[in-house]
Structures are given as C-alpha cells and as structure tokens.
C-alpha cells in the first residue's frame, strides 16, 4: 500500500501527462501557434495588398516559428523523462523491489537475448566478471571464466551484459526516429530473406465453345537484407580504470550508444548500401504511378512540387495533398510523414481551401504533431529542401523498411596498442533495406 502511494505521488510530480510544468508547455505551444497563425495571416494580407511582405513581419514570423520548434523539443524531453521514470518503476528501481528485482529482470532479459537460461546468481557473477574484465583484462577475470562463457559471442568477443544491452537499445531507439516506425527484427544469421509477391495471374473472357489458351502464371521474387557491422572504439587511461569509482558498464554504454545511434540513423535514412544499410532515401525514384504498373520493383514513386528547390508559390499545399493521395488507401491507415525540422517549419504556413492550417501541434502528451491529420517524424538525416531533392517521405514505414539486428554486441579490450590507454573495441551487426516499394511515396522539389 505504501509502495502504491509512493508511486502515485511520484508520478504526479514527474509524469509528463500530469506534471503542471508539462501542461504549461502544451498551453504555451497552443498559444504560440495561435500567434503564428495570426502573424502568417497578416503577412499574406500584406503580400496580397502591397505585393510583398513587410520585413519586420517576416522576421516576427521566423522568431515564432523557431519558438514552436523549441517548445516541441521541450515537450519531447519532458515525455522522454516521463518514459525514463516509468522504466525505472518497471525495473523495480523506484518505490519497491529495488536492486534484486532489477537483477531478476535482467537475468530474464539475458536469457531471452542469448538463448542461455541463467540464474540470478549466474548473472551477478557474470556482471562482476565483466566489470573486472573491463578494469584489468583477461588476467583479472580468470576466477570468473565459467560465468563469462554463458555470454560469449561465437567469434570470441564478450557479449555486453543484458542490462547494458537494454540501455543501449533504448538509447538507439530514442535517438533514431526510423527505428520507432520501421519494422525491426532480430536474427541469428548473416542475412534476412523474404518472398516478393507482386506478380499477377492472367485471366480473360471466353465463350461456351471457345478454345482456352494458357494464361500467365504469377511468379515469386525474393528480397535479401544483409547484416552489416558498425563499430565504436572509446578509450580510457589505465589509471582511470584502476582508480575510478564509477559504473564502467554505464560508462561504456553511454559512449558506444551515442556513436552507434548517430551512425545507424544516418545509414537507415541515407546509407548507400556499401558496407552499410541501404537508406530509405537512397533508392531509385520515378514519376510512374502504381496504377500505370510499369515502374520497376525496387523504385519508389515521387510527386513533384512543380518548382525547383521549393514549393509552388501559388498553391504550395497541393503537392502535400498529391503526395498523400498517391498512396493506396490500405497503406494510408498507418502512414506518416518524415522530414527535417526546417521542412516542417515551411509547411506550417500552408492552408487548405477553407483556410485551415495543414500543420497542427500535439495537444496532449504522447500525441505527435500532424500534417493533414497524419503524424510527423522529424529526421535530421533526411535531405533538406534543394533543387531536385527528395525531402519528404510519406507512407507506412513498418511496411516499407525492414531493420535487421544480429544477436550479440561484443566488446574487445585492447591495452597493448596504445601504452597507458585501454581501447574498448565495440561492434554491433545490423542491416536495413526497403522491402515494399508501393507503401511509400516521396516529394521531389523539382
């Protein structure tokens, strides 16, 4: 009972949904958006009346636009904080349960991740051995060699302990928007394959006594996503490792996850497919519609804005409508936009034929900003608006893009290459690629 009361009070103070400070952020965002609309309406009237906008009005609109971006960031941070608090409760780190519950959960996560059933005592021994290995290397871990073997990778590396893996995956998930919306699967081999069923059987009309000829038979294709390797190599002095009173596992997780998150995010969005995933925005594009049926599989359809490096000056919203309704209805159910913050800022000014703004802010915690009612994912690795750029994607990301994670994150300790320093060579195997080329459309600024 006391635990429940403690949790309730804590959530009232720290949860993004209940904290008065967070509510104030949403209220301020709505207030700022109203100011944005009023200023943008005034600017449009100036252009219509005078042929050009007042410089001061444009400057004011730009400042308000930036304020909306800043408020959006503040809300995201608040929501992230609330999620972290909830995660602590789920791990037993706050209120009750404590360290023992966290270790029980971590041992279970470890078993699910590696396929090795381990007891809590095994997990504690393993964690202690890993910490010793980080500080002193192989010689220092000999007494715990048996415990370490349950987590060793087949290639001889040392798997990161389960709680480190959990934190690492969480950080990557939060900092890589495409992981939030794409399909993600973990495999135990070096590639993932699946069938492509985009063929069509032949059929035709025939009379009662008319001869029947053979019709075409549909064929199946195959897609393959290879697993690539990304690495990081943080280092620390041997003196720090000997004397530091810190959690070395947390230190390594922070160092590595930040690096890997940025590298993976860039590859999933814009990677060229050479020793890295093929990014969503790196495939071939064509203006051929799905209905025409002549666009090669492996090529995405694009919609042009009609203006090089910009939206149309006369009807900029038309391109957004065209983009949305080029997508088949079945895919629109789970569709969303992906674009950079700067592109979102440009679309904020657009209205429909009734004078309503296409962009709408999030109204409550957990809800995203929207354009035409569809949520928007901000991805800063997406190309910015430029001549002939593909700067907006719209579609069902889970149906379109497949991320493949290979089980096992390994750390190799190197105290020899650079005297006085210890390198922690950490690697992760992951891949990604598009598997459905009808479920996503792109806006081309041309």
The two tokens of residue 172 are 């990557």
- Could you tell me which of 115, 59, 424, 62 has the C-alpha nearest to residue 257? 424
pLDDT at 12 over 80: no
Instruction: Collect all residues with Cβ–Cβ distance below 8 Å to 327 and sequence separation of at least 6.
Output: 335, 394, 395, 439, 440, 441
Q: Is residue 368 part of a domain?
A: no
Q: Are residues 32 and 168 in the same domain?
A: no
Ramachandran region, residue 346 (left: φ > 0; alpha: ψ -120 to 50; beta: rest): alpha
Lowest mean pLDDT among 48-62, 189-203, 311-325: 189-203
Our measurement of the distance from residue 254's CA atom to the centroid of its chain's CA atoms, rounded to an integer in Å, reads: 18
| Whether 114 contacts 123, CB under 8 Å | no
- For residue 106, the model assigns a pLDDT of 64
Q: Is residue 113 part of a domain?
A: no
DSSP 3-state of 262: helix
Q: Is residue 133 part of a domain?
A: no
Tens of pLDDT, residue by residue over 359-403, are: 998 877 767 899 999 999 998 899 999 999 999 999 999 999 999
Instruction: Give the CATH number of the domain where residue 410 resides.
Output: 3.30.2400.10
- Percent of the chain's residues with pLDDT above 90: 28
Q: Are residues 66 and 171 in the same domain?
A: no
User: Over the chain, what is the mean pLDDT?
Assistant: 76
Q: Is residue 116 part of a domain?
A: no
pLDDT band at residue 406 under the 50/70/90 scheme = confident
- For residue 147, the model assigns a pLDDT of 37
Domain boundary among 90, 114, 147: 90
Cα-atom radius of gyration of the chain, to the nearest Å? 27
Domain boundary among 59, 74, 90: 90
Q: Is residue 149 part of a domain?
A: no
Instruction: Collect all residues with Cβ–Cβ distance below 8 Å to 307 and sequence separation of at least 6.
Output: 313, 445, 446
Q: Are residues 184 and 39 in the same domain?
A: no
Q: Is residue 29 part of a domain?
A: yes
Q: Are residues 299 and 437 in the same domain?
A: yes
Q: Are residues 250 and 399 in the same domain?
A: yes
Range of the domain at 258: 158-200+217-340+379-446
Q: Is residue 102 part of a domain?
A: no
Q: Give alpha helix (H) positions in 91-176.
A: 98-114, 120-136, 145-148, 162-175
Tens of pLDDT, residue by residue over 252-284, are: 767 777 778 788 889 999 999 999 999 999 999
pLDDT at 150 over 50: no
More confident residue, 76 or 396: 396
DSSP string, 4-61: HHHHHHHHHHH-TTT-HHHHHHHHHHHHHHHHHHHHHHHHHHHHHHHSS--HHHHHHH
pLDDT band at residue 236 under the 50/70/90 scheme = confident
Tens of pLDDT, residue by residue over 192-234, are: 776 666 656 667 787 777 787 776 666 556 778 888 998 888 8
Count up the domains in the chain and report the number.
Answer: 2
- For residue 346, the model assigns a pLDDT of 92
- Average pLDDT of the residues in 119-142: 67
Task: In whole angstroms, give the CA distance from residue 378 to residue 206.
Answer: 54
Q: Is residue 230 part of a domain?
A: yes
Bridge partner list, 192: 225
Domain boundary among 43, 63, 90: 90
């Amino acid at each position: 009972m006391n635990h429940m009361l403690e949790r309730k009070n804590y959530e009232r103070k720290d949860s993004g949904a209940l904290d008065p400070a967070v509510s104030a952020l949403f209220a301020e965002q709505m207030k700022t958006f109203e100011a944005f609309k009023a200023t943008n309406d005034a600017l449009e009237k100036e252009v219509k009346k005078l042929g050009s906008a007042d410089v001061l009005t444009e400057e004011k609109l730009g400042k308000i636009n930036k304020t909306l971006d800043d408020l959006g960031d503040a809300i995201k941070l608040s929501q992230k904080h609330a999620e972290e608090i909830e995660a602590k409760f789920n791990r037993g780190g706050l209120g009750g349960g404590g360290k023992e519950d966290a270790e029980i959960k971590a041992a279970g996560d470890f078993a699910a991740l590696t396929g090795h059933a381990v007891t809590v005592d095994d997990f504690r021994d393993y964690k202690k051995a890993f910490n010793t290995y980080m500080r002193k290397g192989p010689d220092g871990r000999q007494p715990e060699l048996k415990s370490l073997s349950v987590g060793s990778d087949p290639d001889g590396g040392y798997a990161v302990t389960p709680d480190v893996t959990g934190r690492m995956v969480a950080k990557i998930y939060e900092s890589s928007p495409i992981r939030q919306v794409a399909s993600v699967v973990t495999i135990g081999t070096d590639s993932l394959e699946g069938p492509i069923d985009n063929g069509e059987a032949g059929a035709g009309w025939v009379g009662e006594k008319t001869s029947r000829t053979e019709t075409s038979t549909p064929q199946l294709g195959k897609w393959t996503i290879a697993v690539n390797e990304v690495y990081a190599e943080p280092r620390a002095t041997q003196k720090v490792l000997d004397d530091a009173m810190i959690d070395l596992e947390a230190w390594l997780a922070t160092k590595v996850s930040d690096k890997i998150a940025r590298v993976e995010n860039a590859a999933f969005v814009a990677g060229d497919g050479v020793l890295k995933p093929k990014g969503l925005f790196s495939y071939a594009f064509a203006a051929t519609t799905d209905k025409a049926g002549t666009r090669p599989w492996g090529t995405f359809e694009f919609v042009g804005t009609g203006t090089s490096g910009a939206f149309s000056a006369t009807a900029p919203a038309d391109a957004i409508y065209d983009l949305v309704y080029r997508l088949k209805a079945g895919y629109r159910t789970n569709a969303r936009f992906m674009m950079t913050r700067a592109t979102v800022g440009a679309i904020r000014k657009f209205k429909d034929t009734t004078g309503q703004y296409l962009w709408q802010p999030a109204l409550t915690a957990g809800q995203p900003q929207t354009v035409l009612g569809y949520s928007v994912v901000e991805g800063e690795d997406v190309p910015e608006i430029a001549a002939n750029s593909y700067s907006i994607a719209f579609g069902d990301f889970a149906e379109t893009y497949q991320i493949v994670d290979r089980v096992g994150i390994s750390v190799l300790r190197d105290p020899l290459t650079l005297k006085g320093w210890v390198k922690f060579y950490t690697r992760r195997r992951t891949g990604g690629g598009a598997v459905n080329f009808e479920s996503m459309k792109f806006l081309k600024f041309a």
